Amino acid sequence: MEPAEVVDSLRGLVAVADNAFRSTYDFAKDKIDPFMDIKRRDEIRRVATEIQDLAGLLHRLTLVASTFDEDYNQVLDDVYGLRSPKLPQQLFTCRQTLIKLEASLSRRKLTYDVVKQEEDLKSRAKLRWPFTTAWTVDLVQEIGQHKEAVTRALPSNSMNELLQSFSKGKDRHSPNRREVIRRFVMGRCRYSKENSTVTSFFARVDHLEVLTRTVSKRTNWTEYEMLEHEPIRRWIDHGNYNDKSSHLWITGGPGAGKTTFAATLIETAMHIHYSDQATAVIFAFCRFSDPRSYECFFSLSTLLAQIAVQHPSAMTTLGKYYSELRTRRLVEIPTIERMKAVFFAMTKVFRQILCVVDGVDECPDEGDAVTQLMASLASGSGNFRLAMVSRYRQRIETTLKGSFGEALCCKEFEPDRNQLEMFAATEIEKMAMGANSVFHNLQLKDNVIQSFGRVNNPSFRFASCSIEYIARYATTQNLHEMSETLPQNLEGIYKLTLQRFNEQPASTKALIQSALQLTAFSDPPLTSHELCQALSVAGIPGLDADELQYPEVDENEITDSCGIFLTKATHGEELGLAHHTIKEFLEQIDPTDSEFAGYHLSKSRTRRLLGGGDYHFIDMRLWFGPD
């Protein structure tokens, strides 16, 4: 796990502790139950005080952790590129305890509020502490142990030292986890230069980078009950081609966390089949920002490389095909049909092949070509079990059901509302670190967090965009009203953001429109430096390159202006659209819409913009200056 991920998780834990403190303290107020036994009131106040102290220590620990700037390539609990999904067990236990406490108190408070509304019961309504004295004493002792553990971690000088302090210097992960990752990511074949040459030739798309990034970004409290559902468990464990769970299609809404679930499904399969050399686990992530990821040629070629490293005989088969191509001096390039034949030959050395494919709905034509390719691989091999994760699309359904019939199991994925609130709390804690943040008011902060639990179709993307929109445009005075009146879907948030863009000066508005056009269709994605150069010579109103000492738009100006629509790669310099739903939304804008037509995405507009930039760039005055 990277230092930034640890810090984010600690901020989420601080938010949980704050919430638990406020709920506990409510029960100790005199006005709630003026006749409460004094001893009982003191017990409750002691619990509240202990939680308040714990929250303070966790906040200090967050500040300490935020000063560590280890390079992301340094090993913390990182094992061969995949990072552990858990923080120290003690912090996880602490979080579980506080959440259970807060949930119990909230249920009791809700019952109390309902009873108060009934005239005949109002006089008897009392808000009682729902725990025994013995349980309360045990809770105080447990919180005290968590406080001691956090206190021990405060003097840490590095993230490694901080994490290890919770296990008294012992490695928190068993060697088994390291071996699992090594075997499935690095492969089961002995490394050789020849094998590396073969796999490098065929591995045209870096799906491992997407898997690594997705696992590392996964919130540390994320758990999926869906993985325990019988069809999915059978698919992972021991399904055969005649099972109704031979193939899975898991659907969910945009921004619901499907890619994170797909990465977790892959990782779970790797762990379960750690010692099973007869099982191969392969995967693909189709990304709207990388056309190669959804081209059948590159997808199949990369799957060949993945499956080859998991068995010496499979590597030998692929090596022979590579030698055949090399003998012909690579004049004859690989073809889809020939690669499929090689793939089927390689699958025969395994008892079963588990293949997870995510994001086909992001592909052009709703992923028809990729879906048909995967269906043909599964149909042509008796031991190939496919799991596709995507939004619901009728064309995908037609292909899968037409290929698999009753062997296809369809499941709907929905984000857990508790995890959504935890995610929102973590994001708000990040925003609250800013000096001018509107989230310093604890009550208003809680209202915003809880509002996401009432959304009909909740999603992490919606929560993230809503929080950033509020942080950008809300004031302390209108925060509550804005959080109550925000649209309840992504499209509504995007439309509101465009309206804010339209309120900007003409030059800023043109800058935003040009930046979105260029990033939407650039292949490969433009680096921040390249985008700044392109925008600086594209003739944007209000930006005269001849009058600037350094004729380039500033990167911060681009990212600040574009807000939730643009993002920078976590470990790279590329700038791109933040989510595939943004591209879809902008492409669907009516070009005749007088309000938003300037944001409509089209390749023809991008070509015109690039053409104008090229003209300005080759103008001799930019090279040699005026005569």
Alpha helices in 328-381 (DSSP H): 336-347, 368-379
Tell me, what's the pLDDT at 298?
Answer: 93
Tell me: pLDDT of 119 over 70.
no
Tell me: pLDDT of 416 over 90.
no
Residue 347 and residue 325: Cα distance in Å, rounded?
21
Q: What angle do CA 554, 557, 558 make, to 5 degrees?
A: 95
Alpha helices in 410-537 (DSSP H): 417-432, 442-451, 460-473, 479-485, 490-502, 506-521, 528-536
As given in the structure block, the two tokens for residue 131 are 């725990």
Residue 604 and residue 177: Cα distance in Å, rounded?
50
**CA-based nearest residue to 428, from 396, 476, 468, 473:** 468
Q: How confident is the model at residue 615 (pLDDT cuts 50, 70, 90)?
A: very low
Reported pTM? 0.71
Give 3: exposed, middle or buried? Use CB within 10 Å, 0-12, 13-18, 19+.
buried
Residue reference for tokens 């935020």: 66
Which of 93-102, 329-338, 583-592 ranks highest by mean pLDDT? 583-592
Q: Could you tell me which residue, 543 or 38, shows the higher pLDDT? A: 38
Residue 201 and residue 315: Cα distance in Å, rounded?
13
Tell me, what's the pLDDT at 79?
Answer: 30
Tell me: pLDDT of 81 over 50.
no
Calculate the dihedral angle through the C-alpha atoms of 324, 328, 333, 339, rounding to the nearest 10 degrees.
-10
Query: Which CATH homologous superfamily contains domain 177-413?
Result: P-loop containing nucleotide triphosphate hydrolases (3.40.50.300)
Q: Could you tell me which residue, 70 or 498, shows the higher pLDDT? A: 498
- The predicted model gives 404-432 an average pLDDT of 83
What are the helix and strand counts (H, E) for the chain? Answer: 26, 9
Decide if 184 contacts 272 (C-beta within 8 A).
no
Percentage with pLDDT > 70 across the chain: 79
- The predicted model gives 601-627 an average pLDDT of 59
Q: Where are the beta strands (DSSP E) in 45-154?
A: 78-79, 82-83
How many C-beta atoms surround the C-beta of residue 434 within 10 A?
A: 11
Which of 67-76, 108-117, 319-328 ranks highest by mean pLDDT? 319-328
pLDDT, one tens digit per residue, over 182-213 is: 556 666 677 788 888 998 899 888 888 888 77
Q: How confident is the model at residue 266 (pLDDT cuts 50, 70, 90)?
A: very high
| Helix 207-217 and helix 258-272, axial crossing angle in degrees, nearest 10 | 100
Tell me: pLDDT of 160 over 60.
yes
- The predicted model gives 122-147 an average pLDDT of 79
Tell me: pLDDT of 96 over 60.
yes
Residue 215 and residue 217: Cα distance in Å, rounded?
5
pLDDT, one tens digit per residue, over 561-574 is: 899 999 887 656 77
Please tell me the least confidently modeled range out of 17-21, 416-420, 489-493. 416-420
pLDDT, one tens digit per residue, over 575-587 is: 889 999 999 999 9
Any idea where the domains of the chain sit in the sequence? 3-168, 177-413, 417-488, 500-611
pLDDT, one tens digit per residue, over 463-509 is: 899 988 988 888 878 877 887 888 888 999 999 999 999 999 888 88
Q: What angle do CA 461, 466, 467 make, to 5 degrees?
A: 100
